Each structure stands twice: as C-alpha cells, then as structure tokens.
Amino acid sequence: MSDGNIARNTAQATLQEVNAQTINEAGKVLAVHLSYRSRAEQRGRVPANPSYFMKASSSLALTGGTVERPAGTELLAFEGEIALVIGTAARRVSVEDAWSHVGFVTASNDLGVYDIKYADKGSNIRSKSGDGFTPFGPALLPAAEINPDALRIRTWVNGETVQDDTTAGLIFSFARIVADLSQLMTLQPGDVILTGTPAGSSVIVPGDVVEVEVSDEAAGLSTGRLTTTVIQGEQGFASFGNTPKITDQDRIDAFGSEEAAGLAPAVTGKSALTDEVKAKLLSVATATISGALRKRGLNNVSVDGLLATKPGQKVIGTARTLRYVPNREDLFKSHGGGYNAQKQIIDAVGPGEILVMEARGEKGSGTLGDILAMRAQVRGAEAIITDGGVRDLSEVAALDIPTFYNGAHPAVLGRKHVPWDTDVTVACGGTTIQPGDIIVADDNGILVIPPALAAEIADEVVEQERRDAFVFEMVKEGHKIDGLFPMNADWLAKYQQWVAEGNGA
C-alpha cells in the first residue's frame, strides 16, 4: 500500500492491519442523508437526488469497541449502514465506471446525538462526529467479488433484529452516489462513503449492544458482526458552546416514529382508514359523503372536471402525491431525465394508496402513459388521479387500475411539465390534497377526506344513507315531501320503527 491506494488483495495483511490502514488513510467520511425506500416511506418523503453530509474521519473506530453517550444527552441513535471504501482515485467518473473505483465494502454504524443536532443547522458535523461515532468493520469485502445490487444489511440491538433490508431497496445505486460525489471533489483512496440506513434505526442507551452485518449471500461473503456497546459518558457540554436541546420532532426523528418516541401519534390516512371505516365509506354514495363534509364547513374538497377510465368502479385509498411545474428547458434537463420524481413515486406507491398528480389542469401534454400506469398497477396502487393529460389512453383504460384524468394527449410530459417533487401538498382539480389524505372516487366525483374526520364521517354517512333509503321508499309509496324530507318528529319515530324491524341494514 506504499502508493497510497487501498489494495484489493488483502491476502498478505491481517484484518486488524487492513482496518487500521483504512482508518489511517480515510481523509473523508461522506454520508448520504436518505437512500433506502423503507426509510423514505418512514420519513414521508422521497428525494429526487441524493444529498450528503460529512463526518470527521476521527469518528471512525475499529470493531469491538464502545461508544459514549455524552453526559446530559439522551437521544443517541444508531443507523446500520453499508460503507464503501474508495480504492482508486475518482474524479468526474461516470455512473458506469464508478464501481471500479470502490476497493472494499464493509459494515458501519452511523451513530449520532440528536440532542445537539439543532446546532448543526443541517450539517450534522457535531451531532454525528463524536469519537467512535462511526464503528467500522470487522471484515472488508473486496468490491470486485460482490454484487452491489444484492447485498443484505442487518442490525441487531441486544440480540433482536431491528433492521433487515437489501440494496434492492435503494433509491440511489452505489455507483450513482460515487459518480455524483466525484463531480466536485476527488475521492481519494481510503475515503469512506456511508450509503444510508434502512427503516428501523432508533435510540440506544448505555448497556445496549448494537451489531451490524453486511453480506452477499449468493457469494457466501459476510463482514461478520460489527459490535458496539454503549456506555455512559461522564463529560458533558460546556457553556461556551451549544448545549443539548430537544424538541418533539428531534425525538420523532431519533426514535423513528411518534409512537416509538412516546408521543401521541398523529392521525394519518393509513391509521384512520381501518377496514371498518373503509367498508362504510365504500357502501355509500359520494354525494352522501360530500354532505357530511359540507356540514363540517368543508366545501372545497372535491377534485373537479376529470374523466374516469373505469366508469362504475369506486375506489378508496390514501394519497401519495407528485407535483409537476411548468416546463423550463434547463430545469427539465436537470430534473426531467433519468430516475426523476415521476418514476420515483411510481416505484414507491403501493397497496391502499392513490397517486395524485398536480399538473395545473394543463391538458397539452401527457403526465402518465401505459408503462408507468402498469407499474403502479403491479405495485398494487388503488388508482391514479391527474388533472393533466394521459398518453396511450386506450392502453391505460384497458388496465385494471382506474385512472381519473383531464384529457388525452400524445406528447410526453417534457412538452409542458417538469416532474418536480413527491409526497408534498398539491393542488389537483381545484382542491388541495396532502399526503395521507383519504380519497374516495367514483362516477359521481372525487372527494378528499381529512384523516382526523374519517371515522366520524363514516359512521354518519352510513346512518344518513339509511335515512335516505327510508325517505326514498316513503316517497315511492306516494307520501308527500313536506315533513318527510327532512323528517319531522312523527316521521323520525316511523323511521326508528322501520330500522327496528330490520330494514336498511
């Protein structure tokens, strides 16, 4: 290794020697903020491109050690990650060539103290750079001998599996990350890239033992378990610098969820749309639901002016969103090609979810075609809603998944649109839709239900539908509207007797 490069052949060196050499030569430790779909779904956002932060190289630590939780803090969190060790210098390398510059792959633990994160203003420099905050090893797997698209990452806390994912769940490939970083800086031999953590990271306390392992099961290769024990530090933060401070959001981010953080979970679409609520909402007309929403002062909760590819079919689900902005050639060049926001959300939408696209009512370009619609169908999505145009309309209409659209157009989205961001609040068909809102759609319209109101509205509309059925029958029998619609006291008593006799169930 006299030439400064990290050699691929480790046969002449012991594991300890190689790890020590790697740490000594690590000029930079670079880390990806968000790269696994499972983590993105947990955080409620899918980035269009990777973003990064740096950790001090002094945070690297050999396997089998301990890490201190600083005195006065409580939110030390683990993140099991796959670490790349650069083998040969990389500057402005292509995605196709990037992997050849990686020397080794190993396990790492991207530890951080959320109590001080506020002071970093997004850089993570102090919260993530404590001594021992990047355990590393134990074995270095030669990059040339593994498949980067088929690696498994697992983490255990006190022997219990808390993270288990594969690189098939990555939003950004390792090669893309290396190539992207090399655009502005030379990646030197020994530099370490932490490639992000899957869902499941959380807070650890003194006495906890965290283990991380990376394996290529097809190749029969494993790093072994990287073991770190948490101990309580005795030295706190001095008053001449920022001192620990925690918000509820810090707790949520550190623990991974409101429930895990011990905070009352917010009502979300998925938690609110229980099987019982779903069945009730599907059993009634959208007009009845609209009336219940209007009684609560919600008059602008309908998506208007759209056509349906599946007339007669009613759908319900929670919203995932995609926002298009008006096309501008330079922005389309940077955001429209490759694995753009449109493709990312299509790959992320799943069962129980409805993809809602904001296209500003612009019909002069397609926002969806048959291939992407098929992908959403294969993913198990309930429906697609766009207030823009649809390409390949006959093919899209032939699919099982219902699509609600504003018209047909043969042009690709680049004529009028740039796919910009996902899982954000959007405007579609004249109303506002937030990620997680409950959507009910059929021939009569498309309605948006705030999750916090779903259960009470479901109960109310079932009762209202039964009352409407009673009134309809009475009118059919020849009774006058006056006093019946709405029901006065006499008619209400007759209605209650009608229900008691088993009608309207």
> 235 Cβ partners below 8 Å, 6+ apart?
70, 71
The response to whether 391 counts as a known ligand-binding position is yes
Looking at residue 6, its pLDDT comes to 38
SS3 of 394, please?
helix
Contact 137, 63 (CB under 8 A): yes
Taking only the tens place, the pLDDT of each residue in 19-51 is 556 656 668 999 999 999 888 887 777 888 999
The response to whether 371 counts as a known ligand-binding position is yes
SS3 of 302, please?
strand
SS3 of 204, please?
strand
| Residue 220, phi-psi category: left (phi > 0), alpha (psi -120 to 50), beta (remainder) | left
| Burial of residue 300 (number of CB atoms within 10 Å: 0-12, 13-18, 19+) | exposed
Looking at residue 2, its pLDDT comes to 33
Looking at residue 199, its pLDDT comes to 92
Looking at residue 236, its pLDDT comes to 87
The response to whether 369 counts as a known ligand-binding position is yes
CATH class as words, domain 24-255: alpha beta
Looking at residue 63, its pLDDT comes to 66
* Residue segments in the chain with a per-residue pLDDT below the cut of 50: 1-15
The response to whether 164 counts as a known ligand-binding position is no
Looking at residue 406, its pLDDT comes to 95
The response to whether 392 counts as a known ligand-binding position is yes
What phi, psi does 483 have (nearest 5°)? Answer: 85, -20
> 504 Cβ partners below 8 Å, 6+ apart?
466, 469, 470, 498
What phi, psi does 461 have (nearest 5°)? Answer: -70, -30
The response to whether 275 counts as a known ligand-binding position is no
Taking only the tens place, the pLDDT of each residue in 293-339 is 999 999 999 999 999 999 989 999 999 999 999 999 999 988 888 88
> 222 Cβ partners below 8 Å, 6+ apart?
139, 141, 213, 214, 215, 216
> Hey, where are the domains in the chain?
24-255, 269-297+452-505, 299-449
Q: Quick one: 299-449 is in which CATH superfamily?
A: Ribonuclease E inhibitor RraA/RraA-like (3.50.30.40)
Looking at residue 106, its pLDDT comes to 94
